[in-house]
Amino acid sequence: MVKKYLSKIYMAIIFIFLYAPIVVLAVFSFNESRSRGNWTGFTLKWYVELFYDRDIRLAFYYTISIAIISAIISTIIGTFAAIGINSMKGKTKSLILNVNYLPVLNPDIVTGISLMILYISFNMDFGFNTMLLSHIVFNIPYVILSILPKLKQLDVHITEAAMDLGATPMYALRKVIIPEIKPGIVTGFLMAFTLSIDDFIISYFTKGEGVTNLSIIIYSMARRGVRPTINALSTIMLTVVLILMILINKRTSAERVSKFKRKEVKE
């Protein structure tokens, strides 16, 4: 009994240690005073100041633009790549899967420097395009990993059945396969969008003059001294990422419940 309570206390301490700084940051983003040492009253002026800061507005534009475009492109590429990988057999499939795992397991700083060197070797101008390409590159493996489980749940003969009934391969893909794996595609898109918004290291090494994102802006502002607007901006980013993660988890839970119910019906 004592061991049970001690384990709960231990877990509570860990969660407090992890999330207390985030809670403090969010609370003091509404503090009227610039000082983080005392609370002088509730205000929204730091959030209002964000909209008058040209650098933050520009960074927000690039962040959202790159996140949306990279998420769409990586989802399209990742979907077709996942379908291709799923149809492979034996050692070839294992090799491709291991190659796909590399960007996921690889440290971000290694990926960022590698991409930077690649762009330099091709004499590419650093800017919007290089950052966008980088985000697409590191998003694709996550999209593939989100879709592959849904493909494994498909009946292996469903495509053949559709083609026996007169469907062309593309028609079977559009009307049979994609609707069945749609939850995985949506999850992959949300994951790619979240990762793109959250990225700092890879973006830092592949950005160009005049092109930046919110993570880099926060880093640059923090180097000059922590201002209340940083707390406000960080809180907004935290809220957006948290909402997206809740949506992903809800979708995953709904898929599990639906799968369990279908299994019960079959039995």
**What is the pLDDT at residue 36?**
65
pLDDT bucket at 151, cuts 50 / 70 / 90:
confident
The domain of 127 spans 58-261
Per-residue pLDDT of 127-138, as tens digits, reads 899 999 999 999
Q: How far apart are the first and last CA of the chain?
A: 40
Residue 139 has pLDDT above 90, yes or no: yes
Domain count, the chain: 1
Within a domain: 223: yes
Within a domain: 201: yes
Q: Give CA 108 to chain center in angstroms.
A: 14
Mean pLDDT calculated for residue range 14-42: 80
Which range, 22-26, 40-44, 142-146, has the best average confidence (pLDDT)?
142-146
Which range, 134-143, 176-185, 188-197, has the best average confidence (pLDDT)?
134-143
Within a domain: 23: no
Give the global pTM.
0.79
Per-residue pLDDT of 88-118, as tens digits, reads 887 888 888 888 888 888 888 999 999 999 9
Within a domain: 241: yes
Residue 51 has pLDDT above 60, yes or no: yes
Q: What is the CATH number of the domain that holds 66?
A: 1.10.3720.10
Exposure string of 74-85, with b = 16+ CB inside 10 Å and e = fewer, is: bbebbbebbbeb
Within a domain: 237: yes
- Which residue is it, tokens 């992903």? 248
Per-residue pLDDT of 225-259, as tens digits, reads 667 777 787 788 788 778 877 877 776 676 666 65
Within a domain: 140: yes
Within a domain: 30: no
